[in-house]
Chains A and B, each alone.
Chain A
C-alpha cells in the first residue's frame, strides 16, 4: 500500500499565515531521505517467498506491498540494510549506489 499523501514544503509568506499555536500542519514526506543512502537494497523476486519480514522490519516504512510482492521505495530508503540482513532466503542484495 503506497501512500498518496501530499509531500509539499510549507512556506509562510507573511506572519499572518503562521498558525496561532505552534502545531503541525504538514507531513515530513517532503524530506526525501533517500539521499542519505550509500548502498541500496535490490530485491530478487525469483527467490522471494513473500514472508513480509522485510516489510515488517523497515524503520523508514519504505518497503511497501504491491500486488502481494515487496517493493522498495527508493525516495525514502536510507539504506540501513536491515531488510537484507533479516531476509530468510537472502534474496535482498545491498548494491553500491551509482552517483
Chain B
C-alpha cells in the first residue's frame, strides 16, 4: 500500500487557526481566515467588528487564532484598524500588518463610511470583506450584498429581494486605492497569492472574499467549495484585481461561461425562482461580465 512519495501541499503547512472554533459545519468564512493567515504569517493584528468571526473565534477568555485580535464596534472595523496601525507606528513597529476583517454587513452597509474615510486617507491597512451575502450571524437578514432573488428572513419567498447586489469593487475603485482584489475560497492558491501581493503594497488594500454559508444559503455543507468554484465559473463573481482604480486584471479567464441555473439549483434560498426570473438573472450576469471585460481590455 505505502508508496513512498512526498505529499504535495500547495499552501504552507503552518496553521495560525486552531481547531475547536464555533463555526457551523462546512463554513466558508473559516477557510477564508485560514488561507489569509497562512499568507500573512505570524506578524499580523486583526480588527474584527460584529460578524460571524467575532463568534467563531470563541468567548472570553479563549481565542481560536494564534494572532492578536481586537474586537471593535460594528461600524468601525476600518478606522479601528487604522488606529491600531497608527499606535504601532508610534511605538516603532512598522513590520506588523494590520487587517480589518469584516463580513458583508460590516462592509457594504454599516461600515461603509469608515471604510470610505480610510480609503480616502489611504491608511496603511488591509481590509478583508468575507462575503456570505446576508447578516448570517444574527439570523440571515437581508444586506446590500444579498443577490437578486435570494430568500432571507427579512425578504421571504413572496417578497424576495428585487434589487441587485451592490458593486463594492466599483465603489472602492472610485477611491483610487492601490490594490483591490476579489477572491473565492474555491481557489485557495489565487487567494493566497493575492494576500501575499497585498501584504507587500503600502496603502489601503481591499480584498473581497466569497465565502459560502451552508446555514443561510440552505445548501449542503459539503457543497461549500463547489459553490465557491461555480460562482466564478458562471461569472457571477469573477476573480480580478484593480490597481490604483484603473488597471484591471482578470485572473480566471473563462473559455465558456457555465449557466447560472446549476448554481441556483443547489441552494435552497433560490428554490422559489421561476424560469423567467432565472433567465432575467442570467441576462444581468452577462451584462455585468461584458462590462468587466470592456474594463479589462480598455487598459
Contacts and interface: CB of A to CB of B under 8 A. Distances in A.
A84 B223 CA distance: 10
A59 B10 contact: no
A60 B61 contact: no
B222 A82 contact: yes
A91 to B, nearest CB: 12
Given A22-B60, A52-B7, A57 B20 contact: no
Contacts of B25: 36, 59, 78-80
B20 A27 contact: yes
B146 interface: no
Interface in B222-236: 222-226
B13 to A, nearest CB: 6
A23 B224 CA distance: 32
Contacts of A24: 58, 60-63, 69
A86 B225 contact: yes
Given A3-B18, A56-B10, A19 B31 contact: no
Contacts of B226: 85
Contacts of A62: 19
Interface residues of A, number: 46
B23 interface: yes
Interface string B146-163: 000000000000000000
A20 interface: no
A30 B30 CA distance: 18
Contact of B61 (A23, A46, A59, A86): A23
Contacts of B60: 22, 24
Contacts of A5: 18
Interface in A24-67: 24-33, 36, 45-46, 50-52, 55-57, 59-62, 65
Nearest to A76: B19
Interface residues of B, number: 44
B7 A65 contact: yes
A68 B3 CA distance: 10
B63 A28 contact: yes
Contacts of B18: 3, 5, 27-29, 61
Nearest to A78: B25
Nearest to B23: A59
A31 B27 contact: no
Given A26-B62, A30-B20, A60-B21, 15 more contacts: A1-B13, A1-B15, A22-B61, A27-B18, A32-B20, A45-B2, A57-B31, A59-B34, A61-B17, A61-B34, A68-B7, A75-B19, A80-B221, A81-B222, A85-B226
29 contacts: A1-B15, A3-B18, A22-B61, A25-B61, A27-B20, A27-B62, A31-B21, A45-B1, A50-B6, A50-B7, A51-B8, A55-B9, A56-B11, A57-B31, A59-B28, A59-B31, A59-B34, A59-B224, A61-B15, A61-B19, A65-B13, A68-B6, A75-B19, A76-B20, A80-B222, A81-B220, A82-B221, A82-B222, A82-B225
Interface of B: 1-2, 4-11, 13, 15, 17-23, 25-28, 30-31, 34, 57-58, 60-64, 66, 69, 188, 214, 220-226
